[in-house]
Structure 1
Amino acid sequence: MEYDNQLQRIKNGSGFIAALDQSGGSTPKALENYGISGDEYENDEAMFDLVHEMRARIMTCDCFDNERVLGAILFEDTMERDVNGKSTANYLWEDKQIVPFLKVDKGLAEQMSGVQVMKPMPNLDLLLDKAKNYPIFGTKMRSVIYEPNVDGIELVVQQQFDVAKQIISKGLMPIVEPEVNIDSAQKHDCEVLLKTNILRNLERLNDEQQVMLKLTLPEEAGFYQELVDHPKVLKVVALSGGYSRTDACAKLKQNPGMIASFSRAFTEGLSKQQSDEEFADTINTSIEEIYQASKV
């Protein structure tokens, strides 16, 4: 029942998905952007304490509401921590009616064939079982594409869909995220190969299987419309990928049917030093801008 309610919310609700899933590698940069330098914490534990404070500050803001925010992607550490006396996922779903997702990948392997596939995930089943103890609806996993290498892109998409099927078998909704690097000299060529491979893999899913897609905003407006309309795709969400919020929102508006799932662009302008009022105003501005771009 919980899953079905969440499914309907993602399928029919308006809004965007906030990506609050920075992990070990990306957390220092996220904290630096938030006004906390590396010499202000001694170890990973202290670092994760600080980033959870930032996330909790965002999530408990009145403006972080279900009228504009459909879902939020969490890091495993965040899922196991509390917000307002409840586990983060329970707080989001029960108190806010915001659908929680979990980042499940373990980072990227070394670059080869113009791509970075995901590192092995030997304990994925255990993590998915743990997620089922919370009201987690789905998962997210990221690979990166740099060059239009046929074999490399095929490898990325195949790995993503193989893992997606494992996630579906556990009763969760996978977000497949084969990011195309925004600085790729041949970005559109990468996107052409990527779309072809995604369509091929979607056709291999059975009628009961469905995925979400998280894709870099394309060079050509409306380029992923075929994926947006595909019956085996619940939702296509866009990553900001290093674009500023203004640029990311402008590009998103050119792609009807896609909604935002921004990370850096979402938290842009936030600072630990801000008063609660300043913080709330900043995050509200961000939420409204991204929400409007996702409505198109």
Structure 2
Amino acid sequence: MSIEQLESIAQAMVAPGKGIIAIDESSGTIKKRFDVVGIDNSEENRRAYRELLLTAPGLADHISGAILYDETLRQSTRAGKPFTEVMHAAGILPGIKVDMGPQPLAGFPGEVVTEGLDGLRQRLAEYARLGARFAKWRAVIHIGEDTPSSTCIEANNHALARYAALCQEAGLVPVVEPEVLMDGDHDIDVCYEVTEAVLRSLFASLYEHNVMLEGSILKASMVIAGKDCDEQATAHLNAMNQLGPHPWPLSFSYGRAMQQAALKLWAKDMQGNFAAAQKTVAQRARANGLAALGQWTRGT
């Protein structure tokens, strides 16, 4: 795929008033979400929940793409239509999470490095054949008394750059996510300093690996103090966009912030509340779409 095609996909992903919904939880992670609301973690329930999200009427008005899990990329609607076909027909780009999660970084207690490069070239080729148009890799950076170390930052960003280069080779737009965690009691100034160091290192690595920035997406963390909550994410996005115009689109890629209310509603009556839960998802998508334009107000 040419750089022009990759750039076109990347631009579509951050179209004005649109963003990405993240439904890439592993089977183990979604079990934790289901357990909270009393839903059995069966393959059929996972499939039905993803269908609820992906076929919500009006979703495409504010959602440009969805990050899927390997299982979801291969699943279909109850009527037998592959999710990827449903998404393409609606104008929603299918994406796929490809990292294998963080593992302890040897020699650096308390720090982690994301793994998953082994066999990635082959997996990306298969995902492209299945209809994916972009991929996501998440690095995890902890802020602590003596962390993050420069070794941790460089190891994670080296992996992100290698992943991004492989994505573009396969014709997929890479979403690079160096997540600086909000856990801890650090203030906003420390968060800023760490985030700046991480991003400088990341873009140096991307440059060294010949990653075409026009055909990639940066999924950055918000620079804030302490922990955040889902509802504040929309308000923060709106506030940042009201400070514009910016040199680049400032969109969103949210998971629980868009899904939690719908999941709770669906769990109460999985048949009777299906349509109502879909309406809730569409409403959250609309709120974040407005925030991406700096036009959101509480209650909209």
Specify the code of the residue in structure 2 equivalent to 1:31: F
Check whether the contact 2:20–2:252 (CA below 8 A) recurs between aligned residues.
yes
Check whether the contact 1:115–1:156 (CA below 8 A) recurs between aligned residues.
no
Measured at CA, do residues 160 and 185 of structure 1 come closer, stay the same or move farther in structure 2, by a change above 3 Å? farther
- What pairs with 1:51-200 in structure 2 (closer than 5 Å)? 51-65=46-60, 67-83=61-77, 84-93=79-88, 95-110=89-104, 113=108, 114-147=110-143, 148-186=148-186, 187-200=191-204
Question: Identity rate of aligned residues, in percent?
Answer: 21
- Which of 280, 283, 290 in structure 1 is aligned with 2:281? 283
Measured at CA, do residues 124 and 294 of structure 1 come closer, stay the same or move farther in structure 2, by a change above 3 Å? same
The CA deviation at 1:12 is 4.0
- What pairs with 1:205-220 in structure 2 (closer than 5 Å)? 206=210, 208=212, 210-219=215-224
Structure 2's unaligned 5+ residue stretches are 242-248, 295-300
Q: Find out whether 1:259 has 2:263 as its counterpart.
A: no
* Cα separation, 1, equivalents of 2:53 and 2:20: 13
Match of 1:244 in 2: 229
Structure 1's unaligned 5+ residue stretches are 221-240
* Cα separation, 2, equivalents of 1:81 and 1:9: 24
Secondary structure of 1:196's aligned partner: helix
Secondary structure of 1:158's aligned partner: helix
The CA deviation at 1:104 is 0.6
Specify the code of the residue in structure 2 equivalent to 1:140: K
Secondary structure of 1:25's aligned partner: helix
Check whether the contact 2:57–2:279 (CA below 8 A) recurs between aligned residues.
no
The CA deviation at 1:280 is 3.0
Check whether the contact 1:30–1:264 (CA below 8 A) recurs between aligned residues.
no
* Cα separation, 2, equivalents of 1:151 and 1:111: 9
Q: Find out whether 1:27 has 2:60 as its counterpart.
A: no
Measured at CA, do residues 140 and 63 of structure 1 come closer, stay the same or move farther in structure 2, by a change above 3 Å? same
Higher helix content, 1 or 2: 2
Deviation digits for residues 30-86 of structure 1, max 9, x if unmatched?
2235x235xx35xxxx2x332221110111121322x21111001010001112422
Check whether the contact 1:138–1:175 (CA below 8 A) recurs between aligned residues.
yes
* Cα separation, 1, equivalents of 2:69 and 2:228: 22
Measured at CA, do residues 268 and 243 of structure 1 come closer, stay the same or move farther in structure 2, by a change above 3 Å? farther
Check whether the contact 2:17–2:291 (CA below 8 A) recurs between aligned residues.
no
The CA deviation at 1:263 is 0.7
Secondary structure of 1:61's aligned partner: coil
* Cα separation, 2, equivalents of 1:173 and 1:145: 23
CA RMSD for the aligned pairs?
2.6
Measured at CA, do residues 62 and 283 of structure 1 come closer, stay the same or move farther in structure 2, by a change above 3 Å? same
The CA deviation at 1:105 is 1.0
The CA deviation at 1:200 is 1.9
The CA deviation at 1:242 is 7.3
Check whether the contact 1:115–1:153 (CA below 8 A) recurs between aligned residues.
no
Match of 1:201 in 2: 205
Measured at CA, do residues 9 and 211 of structure 1 come closer, stay the same or move farther in structure 2, by a change above 3 Å? closer
Deviation digits for residues 85-111 of structure 1, max 9, x if unmatched?
222122101x21101111111122125
Match of 1:228 in 2: none
* Cα separation, 2, equivalents of 1:244 and 1:61: 24
Secondary structure of 2:114's aligned partner: coil
* Cα separation, 1, equivalents of 2:121 and 2:227: 31
Q: Which protein has greater RCO, CA pairs closer than 8 Å, 6+ apart?
A: 2
Match of 1:36 in 2: 38
